[in-house]
Amino acid sequence: MSMHAIFLTILLSPLVGAIGAGVFGRWLGRSGSHTITISSVAVSTLLAAYVFYQYIFAGAEGYNATVYTWMVSDGIHFEAGFLVDRLTATMMLVVTFVSLMVHIYTIGYMHHEEGYERFFSYISLFTFSMLSLVMSNNFLQLFFGWEAVGLVSYLLIGFYFKRESANQASLKAFLVNRVGDFGFLLGIALVVGYFNTLDYVEFFHGLAAQKDTTIAFGDTQVHMLTLLTMLLFVGAMGKSAQMPLHVWLPESMEGPTPISALIHAATMVTAGIFMVARLSPAYELAEGTLNFILLTGASTALFMGLLGIVQNDIKRVVAYSTLSQLGYMVAALGVSAYAAGMFHVLTHAFFKALLFLAAGSVIIAMHHDQDIRNMGGLAKKMPITYAALLVGSLALIGFPGFSGFYSKDGILLALDAANTGTAQLALVMLMLGVFVTAFYSFRMFFIVFHAPESEYVRTHEIHESPWVVTVPLIMLAIPAMLFGAVFVEPLLFGDMLKDSIVVLPQHDVLAAVAAHGSSALDMLMHGLLALPTWLALSGVALAWYLYIHRPALVPMIARRLSGAHSVLRHAYGFDRFNDIVFVSGARRFGDFFSRITDSRMIDGWIVNGTANTIAFLAQKGRAIQTGYLYHYAFIMIFSLMGLLAWALW
Amino acid sequence: MTQFPLLSALIWLPILSGVLVLMLKHQPTLAKQFSLWSSIGVFILSLGLYTGFDATTAQMQFVEQASWIAVFNIQYFLGVDGISMPLIILTTFTTVLAVWSAFDCIKDRIEQYMAAFLMMNGIMVAVFSALDAILFYVFWEALLIPMFLVIGQWGGVRRVYATIKFFLYTFLGSVFMLIAFLYMYHQVGSFSILDFQAMPLSYVAQLWIFLAFLVAFAVKIPMFPVHTWLPDAHVEAPTAGSVVLAAIMLKMGGYGFLRFSLPMTPDAANALDWLVIALSLIAIVYISMIALVQRDMKKLVAYSSIAHMGFVTLGMFLLYSILRNTGEIQGAIMGLEGAMIQMVSHGLISAAMFLAIGVMYDRMHTREISAYGGVVNSMPVFAVFVLIFAMANAGLPGTSGFVGEFMVILAAFKANFWIALAAATTLIFGAAYTLWMVKRVIFGDVTNHHVAEMNDLTRREFMIMLILAIAVIVLGFYPAPIMDVMHSSIEHLIEQAMTSKLP
């Protein structure tokens, strides 16, 4: 099997599964549908593992080839194609692996649900979309994958289509993503406009010549590459849910839990970060954009994390932690530490999928109640889930030794090494974020598992989930613990991503970090005594103190800080603002245009004014409306044709 | 020429079958079957244009030429190039679906209804293949009659208002076109469109002719501010009438720009391109906002049609500002080809949207969005199709709706960043008005017992939807086959449009 055929199989196999379950689901039935989708994703996962091995350990060459030509216009080739190197190979494996785990888990989670076949079809389609995005060698296919991911997330979030809130959330997710795509598309227009190509490699080759190009806006000259990368990053802000385009993500919790794991862990939200890393040669030439990215990431990391503190829905807590962690990844990109950002994407993929699936397991046990205040004391009732959620949370807060520790520390060290004013400010925000993350994660953890049993828990039978649920948890817990330690050296400091990512020497903060020791052990020893670890531990301690030791304090503090509490409860008012300004605004404009300009002015004054004159004639000609008009008109056509025929012969 | 007169066959066979169908007054079943099979036959025949087409040349092909009214040097002159050929196939294709869609929903005088569509088929093919201006004009006007009848006889409650408005608007527009033709005939002594394209014209004459054409074509497309007939016409028209109106008749205006305005009055087009661009952007932004607040599904899709046609006119008139801005014409082809593919794609998508609304109307007898809700519960298969077409309407990659918009936005950037920015807002607005409607109509819990009693698609409706869905997706994943036939003609057109005709 040639590499090309392998790549094609990896990409298309989930699509086949999706079509199988989606179109023929009613004949295949439930088990037929999950068999076909799971086996198709399993095929992709195995082949992706083979590709990963070939690229990371056997030193396979980068692969860049066209699959087919979509069309040619104006000398520009619009194509579908593969660019596979180590970055791609890594993403492919993570995407397919997490997706496979989610597929298996879904058997248990969706067991009693309607639309079982449809759900499997969607998640396979999602896998296909994400793979076409990461495997692309050009902007057209990137945009295809980009929008396809948006489409499937729309379908998945609105999965419970009878529920108004789900329909609202899916529409919102799609539209907010479209706002990002609006920027993204303009960015692609700049690529085509200045480089006359959609191909990544040709684009990279053209960069040197366009390094100092400016665009004139009136009298101001704008650096072209800064504008280009900014516009593309607007797309990333939509997909990777950065402020202020983050608003869709918390509401995406309306979908069933497995898709939260898929959207939040390995797919969709990582698209933006992957895109920036993939296009690092361009981002390196745009300092202004990098600074903007840094600040956006740092603000998202801190402010979205704070919102996690006031959530009572178990999935929403995890959702806000996703937003916050995405902020970390984006901040890393902002100091040119693309490898650190990608590393966090990978570790996060494992531990976030783990967290969501474990939360889902709790939700199954609670008979689909998601409010943590109704839980408590679940530790003994569901030990595997308990252990899984503990592992996930420790990885999330960056507890020394766990995956998240290495990737998060890598980011913090990179920011420290960047040593600019902006980077210092961002670093402070991220450090505070570490404390906040530990606090809200363990607040949820303690309330769910260690707090006194609630009324509901006492009166209902609650037990551990079936094996289709727990096995994926275990399978994900392993990389959540170990992946970081194993891959920190090659990924952050070694040459694992060197071929895919370009960093200018003066931006190379990770090299500066490496000077202090680059092995996992070095980092562990150094990290044990460093500030982030203390911040994380104090966050856990505070959570324990407030929610286990002295729970009576909490309402008091909330009252004392009612102002801040209210700001957080309303999530800084982003939704309100959008509703008032954009949603109502657009409708009000539309209403005005429709009623005033279109109806009253154009139709009322101009058209009907003319028509009133004609109406007089119509009055007289009423006779022709009584059934003979059409005869008359057909005769008109005939005579016309007759005239023509007569003239011809 | 001894070859088979394919174009004549495509014009006269449908018209002839229309006449035959009229005679089947008391045999509705036979009339339906005959109409369907004859339209399928014509569609298959029209594929001969594609297979026999030479894409390497911009010359007119399948040419037929004979003298018609010798006194005025009016000819029966037909031919196609890469611009008209795809539109002809779109016409014959759409007619099959329009005819088929009317099988169950028209009870009254079905044979006349069918006849009208068959005749329109022939007339529209004639419009796209006529190379003599008078021949073109005759068919252009002739088309109004059957459409007038379809809306006036089988239309909704306010059909009289709608038909008169429709007739007035379009007739008024085309009168200007006729005057322009007569002026040019006076100068060159022939009505051949090719002669018109080649003749030199003074700047002032070009300006007047350009404006006359603009009025005629802007009404047809329609462009702001002469668009208000379209929503009314659509709302009152029966389903198949809306399909033909949206899928084909609007394209005649776009075709007019390519066949007449750009090659005949290039200097005026160069001077006034800002006007068309401005009107196109208004169509994209302003009309989209109006679409957002519509309460009637057909009106919403009608406004969405106007917005999508804004991309057609925008793509067509970018070439001059691209040249001014970048000093080269790289990008101009992309704009024009984007406009072309947008026309074809919009033909498919708008037909699909109107057919889908028709499917619901046949069951509920209302088009009010608020009367629906939760249709997916009673019609799950139908809901899948609606979602596919809605996504295509919102320009999702992988559907035909994406191709044209993408190309036009890319080309627009070459002309001016702000034009591209305004055009790209369609990503947001297009999704907003389409998916918001889908949300209110299709999704949610069943809102009333009428919705609960809706039956899912019949076999016939399913096949129509399936054919359109396949067409929309295939074109979205592989637009090259359509693209390739038009390259030469578009290049030739740009050459004409870039060459001054000042004497």
What distance in Å separates the CA atoms of residue A270 and residue A131, rounded to the nearest whole number? 12
Say which of B293, B334, B406 has its CB closest to residue A74.
B334
A617 touches chain B (CB under 8 A): no
Whether omega for the bond prior to residue A472 falls within 30 degrees of 0, making it cis, is: no
Closest CA to A240 of A351, A159, A329: A329
DSSP for residue B59: S
pTM, 2 dp: 0.89
Tokens of B13: 């066979």
Q: Taking residues A529-556, what's their average pLDDT?
A: 82
Extended strands (E) in A496-613: none
Residue B145, min C-alpha distance to chain A (Å): 6
Q: Provide the CB-side half-sphere exposure for A605 (13 A, CA).
A: 8
* Nearest chain B residue (CA) to A626: B153
Chain A hits for B306, CB-CB cut-off 8 Å, are none
Q: Which of A69-73, A104-108, A333-337, B81-85 comes out lowest in average pLDDT?
A: A104-108
Q: What is the pLDDT of residues A79-103, one digit of tens each?
A: 889 988 888 888 899 899 888 988 8
Exposure b/e, A455-467, CB count within 10 A at least 16 = b: ebbeeeebebbee
Length of chain B in terms of residues written: 503
Exposure b/e, A130-169, CB count within 10 A at least 16 = b: bbbbbbbbbbbbbbbbbbbbbbbbbbbbbbbbeeeebbbb
pLDDT of res. B235:
86
Residue A549, min C-alpha distance to chain B (Å): 45
What distance in Å separates the CA atoms of residue A264 and residue A630, rounded to the nearest whole number? 62
A625 touches chain B (CB under 8 A): yes
pLDDT at A292 over 80: yes
pLDDT of res. B58:
85
pLDDT at A183 over 80: yes
Q: Which of A584-588, B114-118, B412-416 comes out lowest in average pLDDT?
A: A584-588
Neighbours of A535 (CB within 10 A): 21
A73 φ, ψ (degrees, to nearest 5): -145, 135
Chain B hits for A163, CB-CB cut-off 8 Å, are 445
Q: How far is CA B396 from the centre of its chain?
A: 20
Q: What is the pLDDT of residues A439-494, one digit of tens each?
A: 888 888 888 888 787 777 778 787 877 788 888 888 888 888 888 788 877 777 77
* Nearest chain A residue (CA) to B413: A189
Q: What is the mean pLDDT of chain A?
A: 83
Chain A hits for B68, CB-CB cut-off 8 Å, are 644, 647-648
pLDDT of res. A640:
62
pLDDT at B92 over 90: yes
- What are the CA-CA distances from residue A109 to residues A210, A326, A364, A467, B249 (Å)? 52, 26, 7, 11, 52
CB atoms A162 and B374 under 8 Å: yes
Q: How far is CA A529 from the centre of its chain?
A: 34
Interface of B with A in 39-78 (CB under 8 A): 66, 68-69, 76
- At a CB cut-off of 8 Å and minimum separation 6, what does B389 contact? B349, B352, B353, B356, B468, B469, B472
Interface of A with B in 537-556 (CB under 8 A): none
Confidence bin at A628 (pLDDT 50/70/90): low
> What distance, in Å, lies between the first and last C-alpha atoms of chain A?
67
Looking at the DSSP bridge assignments, the partners of residue A538 are none
Chain A hits for B235, CB-CB cut-off 8 Å, are none
Chain B hits for A67, CB-CB cut-off 8 Å, are none
A1 touches chain B (CB under 8 A): no
pLDDT at A618 over 80: no
Longest Cα–Cα distance in chain A: 104
Q: Where are the alpha helices (DSSP H) in A366-402?
A: 383-397
Q: Provide the CB-side half-sphere exposure for B169 (13 A, CA).
A: 29
Q: Taking residues A50-76, what's their average pLDDT?
A: 86
Closest CA to A460 of A338, A554, A378: A378
A371 φ, ψ (degrees, to nearest 5): -85, 120
Length of chain A in terms of residues written: 649
User: Which of A74, A114, A603 to mutate to probe the B interface, most B CBs <10 Å?
Assistant: A74
Closest CA to B159 of A279, A625, A84: A625
Contact criterion met (CB below 8 Å) for A263 and A156? yes
Q: How wide is the angle at C-alpha A19 spanned by C-alphas A16 and A24, nearest 5°?
A: 120
Tokens of B43: 């569609």
Greatest mean pLDDT among A59-68, A212-221, B253-262: B253-262
pLDDT of res. B42:
92
DSSP for residue A570: T
Tokens of A600: 């009253």
Closest CA to A87 of A141, A144, A138, A136: A136
Greatest mean pLDDT among A570-584, B42-56, B154-168: B42-56
Amino acid identity for residue B364 in this structure = M
Higher pLDDT among residues A68 and B452, named by residue: A68
Residue A149, min C-alpha distance to chain B (Å): 11
B421 touches chain A (CB under 8 A): yes
pLDDT at A647 over 60: no
Q: How many CB pairs under 8 A join A and B?
A: 179
What distance in Å separates the CA atoms of residue B473 and residue B401, rounded to the nearest whole number? 9
A399 φ, ψ (degrees, to nearest 5): -70, 135
Q: What is the pLDDT of residues A228-273, one digit of tens each?
A: 999 999 999 988 888 888 888 888 888 888 888 888 776 788 889 9
Chain A hits for B321, CB-CB cut-off 8 Å, are none
What distance in Å separates the CA atoms of residue B488 and residue A471, rounded to the nearest whole number? 60
Q: Taking residues A361-390, what's their average pLDDT?
A: 83
Q: Which of A369-383, A422-436, B222-236 comes out lowest in average pLDDT?
A: A369-383
Confidence bin at A612 (pLDDT 50/70/90): low
Give percent above pLDDT 70 in chain B: 100
Neighbours of A1 (CB within 10 A): 9
DSSP secondary structure letters along B400-434: HHHHHHHHHHHHHHHH-HHHHHHHHTHHHHHHHHH
What distance in Å separates the CA atoms of residue B416 and residue B404, rounded to the nearest whole number? 18
Confidence bin at B309 (pLDDT 50/70/90): very high
Query: Sign of the CA dihedral A447, A448, A454, A456?
Result: positive
CB atoms B149 and A629 under 8 Å: yes
pLDDT of res. A635:
59
Burial degree of B503 (CB within 10 A; 0-12, 13-18, 19+)? exposed
> What distance, in Å, lies between the first and last C-alpha atoms of chain B?
35
Interface of A with B in 511-530 (CB under 8 A): none
Three-class secondary structure of residue A79 per DSSP? strand
Chain A hits for B145, CB-CB cut-off 8 Å, are 633, 636-637
Closest CA to A287 of A223, A193, A214, A244: A223
CB atoms A594 and B330 under 8 Å: no
Exposure b/e, A494-510, CB count within 10 A at least 16 = b: eebbeebbbbeeebebb
pLDDT of res. B1:
46
Residue A231, min C-alpha distance to chain B (Å): 11
pLDDT at A512 over 90: no
Q: Taking residues B173-189, what's their average pLDDT?
A: 86
- What are the CA-CA distances from residue B271 to residues B199, B206, B268, B324, B490 (Å)? 19, 10, 5, 12, 21
Report the run of H or E that residue B244 belongs to, with start and end: helix B239-244
Q: Taking residues A193-207, what's their average pLDDT?
A: 89
pLDDT of res. A207:
86
Q: Where are the domains of chain B?
A: 6-497
pLDDT at B314 over 90: yes
Residue A139, min C-alpha distance to chain B (Å): 12
Closest CA to B81 of B61, B64, B63, B56: B61
Residue B466, min C-alpha distance to chain A (Å): 12
